[in-house]
Amino acid sequence: MSSLKRYFAVRSVQTVFMLVLVMTALFVLFRSMPGDFTAQMATSGANAEALQEIREQWRLDEPIYVQYWHYLANLAQGNLGESPVYRVDVWEFTKLRIFNTFILVAPAMTFTYVLGVAIGTIAGSNRGSAFERFGIVPIIGIGSSPAFFTAIILVVVFAVWLNLFPTSGMLSPGSHADLAWWEPYLSRDFAIHYVLPFAAIVCRYLFIPTLIMRNSVVEVMGEDFTEYYRLTGLPTLTRLRHVAKHASIPVITIYPVSLARALGGLVLIETVFNWPGIGFTLVEAVLARDYPTVQFVFFVVAAFVIISNFVVDLIYGVIDPRIRLDG
């Protein structure tokens, strides 16, 4: 077996182990919370029969290892359980909201990294320039501020003062009731609601690729081959293209991790904009004491982080043989 295949196999096993470990830890955590788990899931004023029904439904009267075995058996059948608050299957309740988050964060973070690479390349190739001093500092300042603060500023300026965009939501209420599930995403109404949450993510995370690319460009500009390009008379734009190609490797490899980080940090942004994604769903579920939904949302976020780290490990293993030999 080649070193790359062995590295891939080892990392795959480690990733599966981490996913199972997180799933187990979340299960035990929510079953071991202080108080009566049954009463927490029940509606106010529930009688003894209703509480007993919940205990039997979730097998809470059985040992925890038996509960876990049935939980795994249900997972194998694609059954995540029922939300005690909304009385629907957890997957049916969350799948569209997961898509809502993905359709927001993936394009926003991709645009953020493309823009960050461009700004970082210009700043790194013009060290000490006015662009570096006055362009990078605001990006760092905005990125260092809390996500909800940036989101609120965007709402106040562009939705309240200028009245250019809606203050919240993903669609206007009742405007797309008779359409197929995918049709509203192609509407102008969705695009207008999309702008401010998209901008909030870009503003919040732009400093990451910008600083990494700027520092990487500065390092590459000091290499001998860069000086050779200059002495051979290559046009500036061509030289920058070669420099950016070499300097962008750290940015590319950190992208999946940043995507996972943004996914975990979307709770505040989605709450400010009332965007029906998994961050907003998590807040709703916690307030409603919908613990099966909370448990699943936590697992989705954790799984995305673990898989993102796995992807980064694979990328590093492909571009740097020393890593897969050490692994």
DSSP state of 85: T
| Res 78 pLDDT > 80 | yes
DSSP state of 276: -
Structural domains of the chain, with CATH = 3-76 (no CATH), 90-319 (1.10.3720.10)
**C-alpha to C-alpha distance for 223 and 83, rounded to whole angstroms:** 58
For residues 214-229, average pLDDT: 85
Name the band, by pLDDT with cuts 50, 70 and 90, for residue 1.
low
DSSP 293-309: HHHHHHHHHHHHHHHHH
pLDDT at 129: 84
Residue 302 CA to chain centroid, in angstroms?
10
Give buried/exposed letters for 3-21 (b at 16+ CB in 10 A, else e): eeeebbeebeeebeebbee
pLDDT digits (tens, 9 = 90+) for 263-286: 877 889 999 999 999 999 999 988
Token digits of residue 60: 């809470």
Torsion sign over Cα 125, 131, 132, 137: negative
Q: Which of 84-98, 99-113, 310-324 bottoms out in mean pLDDT, i.e. has the lowest? A: 310-324
pLDDT at 149: 92
Residue 306 CA to chain centroid, in angstroms?
11
